[in-house]
Structure 1
Amino acid sequence: MLNLNDLVLFAAAVEHGGFAAASRRLGVPKSTVSKRVAALEDELGVRLIHRTSRSFTLTDAGRAFHEHAHAALIETEAAEAVVRSRVAEPSGRVRITAGVPTAQDYLAPHLPALARTYPRLHLQLDVTDRFVDLVQEGYDIAVRSHFAPLPDSGLIQRQALVESIVLVAAPAYLAERGCPTTPQELAAHDGLLTGQSSATTWSLANAAGHRIEVAPVARMTANEGRVLSTAAQGGLGIACLPERMCRDELDHGRLARVLPEWIAGRVTTTLVMPHRRGQLPGVRATVEFLIDCLKN
């Protein structure tokens, strides 16, 4: 069988017009190019090139051979490119952990597209609101929504999203009870509260930097945003929810903004990963994909 390296040297000599030019192009000695082409001719039992000190021309057999050799080299490069691209394609298992609201509202809409984009990835999502030790439990990525900055834990942190917490209510509730025009008027409205039963006030701020504490009438308390969203859509009162969580309800008129110039703080969504796992191609691809999706 012919030596593929000899084909490369022969094709370079033909395409660059001589052994010296091929030598400079490939960075190998001219004598090596000449010897390997001669060896190729010996292997084939035919003269491929007429060469003298002043001329370098292909024989008929040489022209025919070069045509096929050139095509073979193109196919070889294509084969190499296919293999390299497949090796570089993100693959393997990527373990992700996220809380219930984060998984439902931020990951679920995008994971199918991620899986289609990288078919060799096996996405494994663990939905839990308990504290997860990424390193000890072998997770690749944690998607965490938080109000205060995350502690410096030695993990890689990639901020994906910062969004406002907005006041919303069902149009039917506002039609019945009236729409507040100042934060102070919220004291006369039913509030759907987040967290512990002792948290009965909302801290609001506007673009001018003014802040105010208001205490609505505590109508319901829950530590899960979807529960509060459903209650608000049912006309039970006014709720404070992350803007992205209630975007669809706002777009379709199931909820309406209340005091749109005021917000009840901001929530940040961050992707956290151990340093070593964060370097894996599958993990990097997943992180970049999710950050790109969550920006929009």
Structure 2
Amino acid sequence: MDVLSAMAVFVRVVDLKSFSLAASELGISSSSVSKQISHLEQHVGARLLQRTTRRLSVTEVGAAYHEKCQAILADVDEAENLVSQLQGKPRGLLRINCNMTFGQLLLSKAIPEFMAAYPDVQLEVALDDSDVELLKEGFDLALRIAHPKLPDSSLIARQIASIPLFLCATPSYLAQHGHPQTPEDLRQHNCLVFMLASNTNLWTLTNAEGSQTVQVSGDLKANNSLLVLQAALAHRGVANLASFVIEHYVEEGRLELLLPEFQAEQLSLYAIYPDRKYSPPKVSLFIEFFQGWLENNLQQKLHCQSRA
């Protein structure tokens, strides 16, 4: 029996609380997972898991052993990473978690370029807007647009890009309801709210004279910016969305930027990863690559156009 492999299987079973989920993630059969756990229990001479047809629980010994296994596997990973660093050859599986819309519209375009440049690195990407427990769920890196919440002191958050927001609406909506001339005029408009943005329905606009915060309201609140975008394109109201979400529609003339003398808030993109003595080269390499990719591809044309 390969003890390290069995430890890795045991850790994923405990973290996911499921034999079948661990098997699916590891690409092996559920019977193979069960067999490795049984062999591991025989090896250590103790019951690690309590299994019934309805639930899976960890014994007291199993919980303590799980903690030690995590530490041992992390040490092995760091040792291999150190060798990779010295050889200058990033390799292995890189597991990334990213915001849904940002991943669909931007990360998806960068991934093929990274894979072409670094063929020894395999990628596993999950798009998810919920808070992710990196270590528990086995991710190497998370990309998040928002101020990061880091209850775990073992994590590092590094800001790698700023993403401007812009007020916009369709020409048809504006022809019917008028163009807002001041931030206060937004109170008279149907404002479409993206609930996961830090500003939600309090929109702050800044010009040379200072900042103004306006509480807006409307008939739509959604936790996905693409849903808000589609409502705006259907002439439903005014939206406050990230540049990468609307730039294509502004260029086509389907959306018009509002209050061009004001700058809406900016969002921050963070790379979040575990704080380890030896950061895996594949993680730092991807962060540097993606930061450079964003500098070249996160267009600022809207920023310039809104000041014209």
Into which bin does the TM-score normalised by the smaller protein fall? 0.5 to 0.7
Structure 2 portions without partners, runs of 5+: 1-83, 297-308
**Which residue of structure 2 lines up, in the alignment, with residue 106 of structure 1?**
106
Alpha-carbon offset, residue 101 of structure 1: 1.9
Equivalent in the alignment of 2:239: 239
3-state SS of 1:247 partner: helix
Q: Distance in 1 between matches of 2:226 and 2:169?
A: 14
* Per-residue deviation, 1:216: 4.3
Q: Report % sequence identity.
A: 31
Alignment partner, residue 121 of structure 2: 121
How far, CA to CA, are the matches of 1:177 and 1:114 in structure 2?
46
CA contact (8 A) 1:94 1:124 kept: yes
Aligned-residue offset at 1:162: 1.3
**Structure 1 consecutive aligned stretches of length 4 or more whose deviation exceeds 6 Å:** none
Aligned to 1:255: 255
What is the TM-score of this pair, normalised by structure 2? Answer: 0.61
Contact 2:157-2:270 within 8 A present in 1 as well: yes
Q: CA deviation at 1:245?
A: 2.4
1:148, CA displacement in angstroms? 6.7
For the structure 1 residues 279 and 225, does the alpha-carbon distance in structure 2 shift closer, same or farther, using more than 3 Å as the test? same
Query: How many angstroms apart in 2 are the aligned matches of 1:153 and 1:260?
Result: 41
- Shift of the alpha carbon at 1:141? 0.6
CA shift digits 1:241-280 (9 cap, x unpaired): 1223222222222222111222442210010111339722
Structure 1 residue runs of 5 or longer lacking an equivalent are 1-83
Q: Aligned pairs, how many?
A: 210
- Measured after TM superposition, the shift of residue 144 of structure 1 is 0.9
CA RMSD in angstroms, aligned pairs only: 2.7
How many Å apart are 1:288 and its aligned residue? 0.9
Could you say what secondary structure the match of 1:105 adopts? helix
- Distance 1:294-1:225 versus aligned 2 partners, 3 A rule: same
User: Does the 8 Å CA contact 1:203/1:211 hold for their aligned counterparts?
Assistant: no
Deviation sequence 1:7-32 (CA, Å, 0-9, x none): xxxxxxxxxxxxxxxxxxxxxxxxxx
| 2:126 maps to amino acid | D
Q: Which moved more, 1:277-286 or 1:101-110?
A: 277-286
Task: Give, in whole Å, the separation in 2 of the partners of 1:278 and 1:100.
Answer: 29
Q: 1:241–1:279: structure 2 CA closer, same or farther, 3 Å change rule?
A: same
Q: Which residue of 2 aligns with 1:230?
A: 230
Query: What TM-score, normalized to structure 1?
Result: 0.63
- Cα gap change, 1:282/1:147 in structure 2, threshold over 3 Å: closer, same or farther? closer
